A and B are shown apart, each in its own frame.
Chain A
Amino acid sequence: MRDERVNWFSKLVTVLAYTFILAPMIIIVIISFNSGEAIQFPPSGVSLRWYEYIVTGPTNFLKGLGNSLKVAAIATVFDIFIGVFASLSVTKYNFKGRGLLVSFFTSPMFIPSISFAFVLLRTTAAIKMMTPFSKILVGHLIIILPYIIRNTMSILVNYNWTVEDAAASLGANPAQVFFKITLPLIKPGIISGAMLSFLYSFDEAVISSFLTSAKFLTLPVQIINYLEFTFDPTVAAISTILMAASLVIMILINKFVGLDSMIN
């Protein structure tokens, strides 16, 4: 009776679908511990040699990692500021053209990254003082903004604004109301949105590969460049570490807001 509605067909397809989704990632983890020279499955033995090679090999992946972290951190912090204010403006107040403003705030989502990357490449080429770092930063600022705004808005839509009035009527000034009442209540949503946006920027490779230079490479661009010439399990080792980090972030998000909030 319990699973009567779920017939064997949907069970079978589910097994297929999740094998399809997970297999490449599981295989990456397995081959990263291979002790042999090339990519082998099953591995000829277990070793950490490819993990060592991340640091000892010719490509300075640590520098790329540092660059990616820097871009992602600055872009996320900047966007939290402007994004939370923007979300407040369209959730707290009801006015004509509100829907239009929301569409405007999330507009970068509707433009293909490749087109925006190309436009940035052309327009920033004319500005001499812009370094590859600042170009990539500007690109990332824009493309992660909609995610911060949508995440914050989804929290604010269900927010009970009367608690603000209550605080104000008890004598709190607007700054106190915001920092002592509103901010603590919406903080979990902001943090989870920030972590997702950070990860999006960290993993982003379209804008980065268009605006990069030999002097400033992000980790995903380094991986793409490396794959062009070498096909050993080094990238598998890096990928395994990054996937482990993503897993930690997912557990943290689950703790802050629950994974259900990510389903929409």
Chain B
Amino acid sequence: MSQVVTRRKLITSGLAGAAGVAGLAVAARIANTYGLIPPGRGGIWGIGETLTYASQRILMSHHSLAREFSPSETSRFVPVNGPAPKTDPYQRHLFTNFKDWRLIVDGLVARPASFSLAELKRMPASTQITHQACEQGWSFIAQWSGVPLSYVLNLVGISTRARYVVFWPFDDFWNSLDLPDAFHPQTLLAYNLNGNDLSADHGAPLRARVARQLGYKSVKYLTRITVVDDIRKVGDGTGSRTPSAGFSWYAGI
């Protein structure tokens, strides 16, 4: 009697296993089609990164807002992780107080453009008091002001093929956002920290502020923003400088 049950169970579990493998393959294709596989490294860590990114993009609202705080809750000290570039173009701009600096916006856009700091400051501004955590574990609360990235992207008109927005800084730590985070209402091109123009160490003249991700996604010293459809064609193809340093592309955790 028990043998019959065993054989039947063996056949069913064999079929279930085959269906599982086929299901996984189909799921991988669907995930790829709907942009649920993050850029960056594949390999063994790709499993966890993909599970995190896909589940958050599926289960969570694309525009859920990070918590905002009252002015009394701002941190007295805003640490600096890595000093400003010592290289020539940046130091020259710093010396002339970014008079000739322009932010280039190009790629898959209808009207490629470049904006001076004064032009950016004349655009509709947004101010937030938000918490920013470093992957190392420390954090601070600060007030940021800047122009929403979505405003600039709408100004230049991105293509329907666009999938990622790439930040190019003066230093090596380039990074990129998918469209849900690029068009998130709290994602700023920030030029003001706690009421003052950004200091050199905090990313002058302009830095990204990405409220729902760890600090390393808030790229400092911006010089150019490129809209692309396929992140694998950009740089080393991993979507940011961080994977080669050991950090995942998606940092919403």
A is bound by B: no
Q: Which residues of A contact B (CB under 8 A)?
A: none
